[in-house]
Structure 1
Amino acid sequence: MEQAINKLASWYGVEQETLDDLAHDVAQAHSVDEMMRAKASYEVQHAKVETLLEAIRLVESTK
């Protein structure tokens, strides 16, 4: 179980970093079109991060 949690936590860290980068891209967009594309990518990445958090919680709850 610990190995699964550690692997998920590591994966979460990478995905969270990507999410932070995308948030920066949204904030630094130079046009509405660029901002909308960045925001769409951000939303997809946010869903990944939330799914990983749910998976971590699920594995922790089954320990």
Structure 2
Amino acid sequence: MTPYDQPEGVWIHANHYPHEGIVMATPYANEIEALRAANATGIGGRVVFVPYGKDLREVLNG
């Protein structure tokens, strides 16, 4: 898959806890920026691609 084949959406860095849900989700322009943010926090989190129109909870729970 090339970057041109990727559906439109946004990369996010998110912290998600099973009992508390999404406690933080920050959008970034690309995967590299999101990964840098995740590494910089020291607490990790998930970096995922969220296509436009998709429910964030569905993406993080899937």
**What TM-score, normalized to structure 2?**
0.22
**What TM-score, normalized to structure 1?**
0.22
Pick the structure with more strand per residue.
2
Structure ID, larger Rg:
1
